[in-house]
Structure 1
């Protein structure tokens, strides 16, 4: 039995060695020759899993240690009896942490009062739902857009406002015209009624309010980067913060300069999120190949440097106390600086990303009951 694994997937070494021959290789180096006699393949987004890679191989399962799966030709795999799996929701708390830290950064930079703002969320799956929870905890008004989910749950078409009352979802146009901040959490879909390729571009960026801000942590191709750059250059949009880019592992240098925050696709790169992805991949491969790893978990995760946040005795506002705690766990400006100083090291920055733990790994002490409630809703542990 042979298993080929992307060598940058963390915590996974040693899991399969008692049962199979294991080959670790850079994701971009995994080719048809390497996997011809493999039974399983565990990858990230950098490995394109399609006919040219898999035809003629004996691969039974392709597992991706990622939320997204646009790098997998799911139609071809299904047609050829090859099982595939992604890791939905594995890093949703990590992306929520990123967006929450970003919201506080933007509030400080642009002198914004978050509770008075409207946040539009396009894509309300695992990640979008966590972001919604965080935004509501911060007191923001929230508008949701998710056509597939509305059809499933309400039986109505969301691409246009139907005028029906009671729906929790709204058209994309309503989000564009009413949101002070619009954040994208959609999968990349290149065709069909729910196509998200260039979901935002020349055809609709102009509908956003001129003082609005855009956040994209989904996929770079969801936004036409050239159109976005032109909108920012012409002052048609107040700002944009981007973790994903068209043409990765590259990024438009002019767009990087214009962005409020620019990072190299690391929003979901918390230690916790990576561990969850590895757990998901190991277990689905084990199930497919009949290996006794259905309860596998990695060794203990590295602890945060300062897991206790003491805010007692401070006289800041409740929201400022929350901001202190959030920045303690993840000061987003640091990742922005690293990327601006080394854009050409996109993959290096991803592959050598620092240890970042999520909110749930931290305990907070505070005298402010309102701040404590907000932080608890975000996932922090509160010391009573």
Structure 2
């Protein structure tokens, strides 16, 4: 009997990688462009599994699509999927936790250096006919500064490796990681207030949960140094964007590098300010990482349909199910 995998939404040029994984399987692959739960329900009826990029998968989806036996998320974060509801319906959810270990830390460092060295500002000035090295003053030396990491998963640990040559003091706030593990990586475990007060550079790497939403709010920004630069390559809602823009405009912090925003794409252009560098949620991307992500999650979902245990589970349908 032919099974059906529905790709709820995607911004890839095609589904050739997924098709190549399923080439020898008795599986129909169907691509849709559904983002809301209602759109997913309307377009994925009869599906045995879902591959999800940005679509919101709520409890209502699992109620309406009882044939779904697996959900795969293109990426690391699963904040758009109700994983507890999936578990309660006996549905494993899988992600791809390791596909962009090189890309995100590299992009984070790129944003940080672009902010510190005022590279976008100089670029715009030269293209506008201006040649003035003083236009970016003041610029501070990177070497010997303090870097604060909010979250300490695989990506920030790799970032520590990348900045080794800059001789930075590294602080870490992560209540779920032991101090010994952080110290073994050459960093110091501290509280969030301490990190914000001491760090010239603050890089966000926490998952988005109810607990971490607006973790960096107006009060947190007020505790940061005036020469601080904030970089966010994790999830937009971790930072109160309006409070951040106000802090930058007021000169309360020196700048920000943002790969993520609370609304993507934003309905209104975000603050146009020389001290803020934006990229369009691209930190995950290289040709190699994209192929790995798509191939890995498709293979995992196919394996589940064949009765194999999930490789990268993020929930436990055995304990959570009926």
Q: Is TM (by shorter chain) over 0.5?
A: yes
Q: Is the 8 A contact 2:144 2:166 kept in 1?
A: no
Q: Is the 8 A contact 2:170 2:188 kept in 1?
A: no
Match of 2:29 in 1: 22
Distance 1:247 1:259, change over 3 A: farther
Match of 1:248 in 2: 264
Q: Which string of whole-angstrom CA distances, capped at 9 and with x for unpartnered residues, describes residues 129-152 of structure 1? A: 111211224322211111112389
What is the CA-CA distance between 1:172 and the residue it aligns to?
1.0
What is the CA-CA distance between 1:265 and the residue it aligns to?
0.9
Distance 1:63 1:286, change over 3 A: same
What is the CA-CA distance between 1:216 and the residue it aligns to?
0.7
Segments of 5+ residues of structure 1 without an aligned counterpart are 155-165, 296-384
Match of 2:72 in 1: 63
What is the rounded CA distance, in whole Å, between the counterparts of 1:251 and 1:258 in structure 2? 21
Match of 1:179 in 2: 199
Q: Is the 8 A contact 2:21 2:295 kept in 1?
A: no
Q: Is the 8 A contact 2:230 2:257 kept in 1?
A: yes
Query: 1:136-155 alignment to 2 at 5 Å?
Result: 136-150=164-178
Query: 1:203-282 alignment to 2 at 5 Å?
Result: 203-250=219-266, 253-257=269-273, 259-282=275-298
Choose which of 102, 108, 111 in structure 2 pairs with 1:93. Answer: 102
**Greater relative CO, 1 or 2 (CA 8 Å, sep 6+):** 2
What is the CA-CA distance between 1:199 and the residue it aligns to?
0.4
Q: Is the 8 A contact 2:230 2:255 kept in 1?
A: yes
Match of 1:338 in 2: none
Q: What is the SS of the residue equivalent to 1:204?
A: helix
Match of 1:303 in 2: none
Q: State TM-score, norm by structure 1.
A: 0.67
What is the CA-CA distance between 1:27 and the residue it aligns to?
4.5
What is the CA-CA distance between 1:41 and the residue it aligns to?
0.6
Q: Is the 8 A contact 1:242 1:259 kept in 2?
A: no
Distance 1:258 1:220, change over 3 A: farther
What is the rounded CA distance, in whole Å, between the counterparts of 2:176 and 2:72 in structure 1? 24
Q: Which string of whole-angstrom CA distances, capped at 9 and with x for unpartnered residues, describes residues 51-99 of structure 1? A: 2223232000000011111001011111110110111132121111112
Q: Which string of whole-angstrom CA distances, capped at 9 and with x for unpartnered residues, describes residues 99-139 of structure 1? A: 22223323322523222211111111121111121122432
What is the CA-CA distance between 1:24 and the residue it aligns to?
1.0
Q: State TM-score, norm by structure 2.
A: 0.79
What is the CA-CA distance between 1:26 and the residue it aligns to?
2.2
Match of 2:18 in 1: 12
Segments of 5+ residues of structure 2 without an aligned counterpart are 119-137, 312-322
What is the rounded CA distance, in whole Å, between the counterparts of 2:169 and 2:73 in structure 1? 35
Q: What is the SS of the residue equivalent to 1:102?
A: helix
Q: Which string of whole-angstrom CA distances, capped at 9 and with x for unpartnered residues, describes residues 144-172 of structure 1? A: 11111238969xxxxxxxxxxx9841111
Q: What is the SS of the residue equivalent to 1:41?
A: strand
Q: How large is the RMSD of aligned CA atoms in angstroms?
A: 2.5
How many equivalent residue pairs? 278
